[in-house]
Amino acid sequence: MNLTPFPTAAEVPDGPDPRRAPLLPPSEKPRIVVEHPDFYVIHKPALWLTHPVRARVDVPDILTFMQQETGESDLAPPHRLDRETSGTQLLTRDSDAARTFFTLFKTHLVGKTYLAIVHGTPDWERFTLDAPLGDLGLGGANRVVIRQAVVPGGRPAITDFRVVKRRAGHTLIEAYPRSGRLHQIRAHLSHLGLPMVGDKIYGRDPNAFVEFMETGQTPELTARLGLARQALHAARIAFAWDGAQFAAEVPLAPDLQAYWDSLS
């Protein structure tokens, strides 16, 4: 199945020092954007996991939250947003819908459009990057096991980019991944020399993720990165359902909008 793998505890700080600074708590709760008989479209706030994982820190997840809120124990996520990514997240309501979405995602029939705020201003308005992604590997300047990069023999990955706005050395970019590789948008933007604001792995500071794992989200780290999380938002999701085209959108998250507005 050509989807971003479900998270492991490696994505949530789980170091040996229990005195490490805690994760920042989310400032918002998930909310229902669309209630369909077969599925929900949820606005997933940043700093929420899509579903629970085993870790030494208590991180809220939208699956558990929505199961409790709705009383529907059969809810399931057919795809996953990273903890720091906000925006549209699907939850199926029964096994039939789950099977249908499995097929839709496997056959690349679900369109997902993201918004990202990056450092730098490209000289193009639209650009398609067709570049294979795979593990970068430890060594040299890389100390992060899960870091992806454009590498020979990597898995095929294609992302369409469009400039929305430019402002004060930053760009608001629309990204449409045609494949679903791990960290695809972030790794492709890094490859293009457009690191995402707040990104601890693919941003401008190569030591940010290691520091985060050791100390947590400190004010100093946030100040250096510009944001407490990566500036990536799942703005729109679209697919065919019951013979008609379905689409749902969530406006840019408040913290990302505030950051963008502060640049003017």
Distance CA 10, CA 250 (A): 28
- 3 state DSSP class of 163: strand
At position 141, the amino acid (one-letter code) is: A
At position 149, the amino acid (one-letter code) is: A
Among 82, 123, 205, 242, the one annotated catalytic: 82
What are the residues facing 111 on neighbouring strands? Answer: 238
Distance CA 233, CA 256 (A): 8
Half-sphere exposure (CA, 13 Å, Cβ side) for 245? 5
Distance CA 163, CA 169 (A): 13
Residue 242 annotated among the catalytic residues of the structure: no
Cα dihedral 134, 136, 138, 142 in deg (nearest 10): -140
CA of 13: how far to CAs of 50, 55, 242, in Å? 16, 8, 41
Catalytically active residues are 82
